[in-house]
Structure 1
Amino acid sequence: MTFYDREDELAALESAFVSGGHDLFVVYGRRRVGKTELLKQFCADRPHVYFLAAQEAETRQREKFVEQIASHFDDRVPRIDGWDEALGYLSEKLSEEPTVVVIDEFPYLVAENDSLPSYLQSFVDEELADTESMVVLCGSGVSTMESEVLGHESPLYGRRTGQIDLGPFSFSQALEAISYEFPEAIRSYAVSGGTPMYLLRFDFGLSLAENIRSKILSPTAVLHSEPEFLLRTELRNPARYMSILEAVATGHTTPNKIAGATGIDSGPLSKYLQTLRRLRLIDRKVPVTASKQKSKRSRYRVADQFLRFWFRYVEPNRSSIEEAPDVVFEGTIEPSLPDHVSDTFETVCREAVWEAVRRGTVAPYSEVGPWWYGEEEIDIVGLAPDDDRILLAECKWTSEPVGRGLVDDLRSKAAEVQWGPASRTEQFALFSKSGFVDGLEGDLDDTWMLFDLEDLEALLS
């Protein structure tokens, strides 16, 4: 599999390894984001021991760990009893040469022996500290990694020398792998998302429609049942979580609407939502002007574009897809795909705002996100509290050029956004798939910015 992007993460790992002294590095993130590929790429040209833990008995886990160490150092496999002896053997071998030791799927080891972080604490303090080696703890169980490795209560707290919370590719990162033309790349990203395992399943020699049919709708395709497999890997009883994800993907985004769509009472629902957030399968959003902790105007969205597509189109139509996938594509998916893509287009436009800020072509903002109150919504609002400046923007993935009506509408909604003093500076932006009506740019003053797809491509490619 081709390895894309991740230059910053590789640079962080390489800088830590060559900086001198020992390192305890932590790499974590939800499944399928490419943690293992990142570490294999990092280890490829340097001495390393790579141990992939499995869901099996502690004794066998420990035996395999020691076998990996002995194999790397061309040593006979010693008899060991307990993790303290296993780590002592590792310490003995690390004194011979600087080595990278990767323990992948670390949460599986902790599940069998929750004292392992304490053993590692002693190893790091008393033995690893005297070497030039690096130990990398990697895991997909985000909650376990945060509590047992990074958390204040963990014996390992304060020992790490670096960490990477690895997420999916942004749109601009994914563009390196998507070989479609820019407008089709946005549509494709709305289906595959930025999770490498999903993104790289697509064959960009085929049309997007052909990829949807062959890579997702086909019962023999890996992606056809991937979300269900993912949930069964993480959860004992995934049925209710599946129904929640389907509800959110089909437009029921508030707790009350999710409860109504799923029949789950608000008390249990809150716990289910917390679990899905912990697994990074959904995000909780509040208006950008509101307090994340105190606001009751929360909305939820499926965090991954592919999962959003799958729970919107595949899960509700499973029986029909088994019998007549082409009918589902032509009658259900294709007609509403522009609406599905429009949500992704907003994400792409917010990414473009941040890129424009980094380039200095747009004034800086400390926060950028959606805003809503009652029935009023604005796709993008940027806040610059130090300068009392606000950005208000709309994103239109439509087949018609944007006209003056949207300008008037955005000006009107700006007055509803309660933020900053009355003397605040207001800036406006419009993003449009199909450009703008003739003369619109000339009618607007310098507080307005217009971005068509060519402008976005120049920013993000």
Structure 2
Amino acid sequence: MLGIVSGRRRMGKTYLLRAVAEQYGGFYFGATAGTTAESLRQFSAALAEYQGSPVPFSFATWDDAISYLFTVAARRREDVGAEAGDAPFLVVIDEFPYLVKAAPELPSLLQRAIDRFQVEESRMRLLLCGSAMSVMGGLLASTAPLRGRAQLELVVRPFGYRAAAEFWGAGDDPALAARLHAVVGGTPAYRRQFLADDIPVSLGDFDDWVCRTVLSPFSPLFREARYLLAEEADIRDTALYHSVLAAVAQGNTTRGGIAGYIGRKSVDISHPLNVLEDSHLLMREPDVFRAGKSQYRITEPLINFYEAVMRPAWTRLEGGQASEVWAQSAERFAAQVAGPHFEAVCRDYLIGPGNSLLGSALGQVGCGVVSDPQERRQIEVDVAVVEPGSGGSSPAVTVLGEAKWGTVMGLKHLARLARARDLLAARGMDTSRCGLACFSAAGFSDALRAEAERGDVLLIGLDELYGRVTPTTLLS
């Protein structure tokens, strides 16, 4: 009877919901920000139009409106006949958080109606949709009125990196596709609604495209990262949240590092971190080798690009100096945007299209740090697959990988991974089936390629990541 549909803005939720409402002859209502009285009046007018009433309905309260809505569903069998009445009555309420903000009692009213009409076998099929992720996630929280009432919880997510490449017309150019995804991610609306199909025609056009779109003050994408943050209902002090995101974009990915960057104590940033996680703008990635340790990563590429490249030069960009700023941002883009993004794509590859390369069952895919006390250093492992131990057996490491965006990988990178494998074995982890993987967007040395042909080493470049070439090595 009830479904919850959520997802950040620009994902196409409204497009999908309007289409399904039209397909099934359902009632669609898109809420707007307003007072309780105005929102109720808009809902009443839309419902009256759907019902074919010559005059708008006049509900005194939301309680009356919800009761009438569910009564319509219950009467359908009587009104249109048994055969037609068996069809569900689809109701879509889009941007539901706007209504909840004006009328906080709405979830409780819906709960009461659902509990009542469920007994009467109502044909109601209600979809509540919203872009405020924290609000939509809270609808089904432990003490929320609607908990246990929903049979569907759908999060509309961005396109994956391969689908995004096809959507942007860069499927045949992995180098261009990787750069595009590092900037705009997989958000569908950015290509057509925001840029009117202005896409880079080739890798050589990418720099000009960035300057005339994302970095141009006349482009809708220019301020989009700011709007994405401001639209979240639980975010009040946007300056604090931008500082947290900037800290992560600058490479301060631990809780302590973020706190130190913005000049706060670690306990003082718990709430901003939780809100950004609930909003799907920040992700906490556990260290697969060290229990209790984790790193944070910005999940929306455009926000990461804004914090790393645009925000430090905002005044110059507003003054129309996009070309100059971009020319001076090459190193920052590679280190703070493309590099971390490439590492995340490599992990996504092993979770998705590359999981067939693993000869054993897929475990937890993540990243981690291996301490080397003898060399007094820490080895960062960008891609790792760890299978949890069971029945008294030790956890097994099946893949250790390193990812480099702008570096041609060689034997020294392989040696570092082999050293990490030895250290993990000394700690009691099972590395007997551990394969080594090198991911590079810049290529591999001849010596590394020769070593890969002799041993259990996997080499993955952009062509393999984007499915243009199928890797031949299988990690056992």
**TM-score (normalizing by structure 2):** 0.83
Deviations 1:309-338 (A, max 9, x none): 11101111111222322211112x234333
Q: Does 1:252 align with 2:252?
A: yes
Alignment match, 1:48: 26
Mapped to 1, the partners of 2:405 and 2:175 lie a distance apart of 10
1:81 alignment partner, one of 50, 56, 60: 60
**Alpha-carbon contact 1:357-1:365 (below 8 Å) kept:** no
Find the aligned partners of 2:219 and 2:399 in 1 and give their Cα distance: 43
Q: CA deviation at 1:360?
A: 6.0
Deviations 1:226-269 (A, max 9, x none): 22223333333211111221222122222333233222333322
Distance 1:204 1:267, change over 3 A: same
Q: Could you say what secondary structure the match of 2:385 adopts?
A: strand
Q: Where do residues 60-459 of structure 1 align in structure 2 (5 Å cutoff)?
A: 60-76=38-54, 77-94=56-73, 95-96=75-76, 98-127=88-117, 130-147=121-138, 149-180=139-170, 181-198=173-190, 200=192, 201-202=194-195, 203-206=198-201, 207-234=205-232, 235-291=235-291, 295=292, 297-323=293-319, 324-331=321-328, 333-339=329-335, 340-356=337-353, 358-359=355-356, 362-373=359-370, 375-385=378-388, 388-398=396-406, 400=408, 402-417=409-424, 421-422=429-430, 424-438=432-446, 440-444=448-452, 445-458=454-467
The Cα RMSD (Å) is 2.5
User: Once the 2 structures are TM-superposed, how far is the Cα of residue 188 of structure 1 from its aligned partner?
Assistant: 0.9
Distance 1:417 1:195 in 2: 39
User: Which AA in structure 2 matches 1:85?
Assistant: D
Provide the secondary structure at the position in 1 that maps to 2:213: helix
Taking a change above 3 Å as real, the CA distance of residues 145 and 361 of structure 1, as seen in their structure-2 partners, is same
1:100–1:134 CA contact under 8 A, matched in 2: yes
Which residue pairs with 1:7 in the alignment?
none
TM-score, reference length from structure 1: 0.86
Letter in 1 for 2:254: T
In structure 2, the CA distance between the partners of 1:45 and 1:52, relative to structure 1 (3 Å rule), is same
**Offset, 1:358:** 4.7
Q: Which whole-Å CA distance do the structure 1 matches of 2:298 and 2:154 have between them?
A: 23
Confirm or deny: 8 A CA contact 1:172 1:460 kept in the other structure: no
Q: Which residue number in structure 2 is paired with residue 6 of structure 1?
A: none
Q: Whole-Å Cα distance in 2 between the matches of residues 326 and 74 of structure 1?
A: 56
The 1:458/1:233 distance shift into structure 2, 3 A limit, reads: closer
> How many corresponding residue pairs?
432
Residues 326 and 196 from structure 1, CA distance in 2 versus in 1: closer, same or farther, beyond 3 angstroms?
A: same
3-state SS in 2 of match to 1:38: helix
Question: Deviation per CA, 1:43-74, whole angstroms, max 9, x where unpaired?
Answer: 23221111112221112212221222221121
Q: 1:388 to 1:250 in 2, by over 3 A?
A: closer
Structure 1, unmatched stretches of 5+, are 1-22
Take 1:452 and 1:187, find their aligned partners in 2: how far apart are those partners?
14
What is the percent sequence identity of the aligned residues?
29
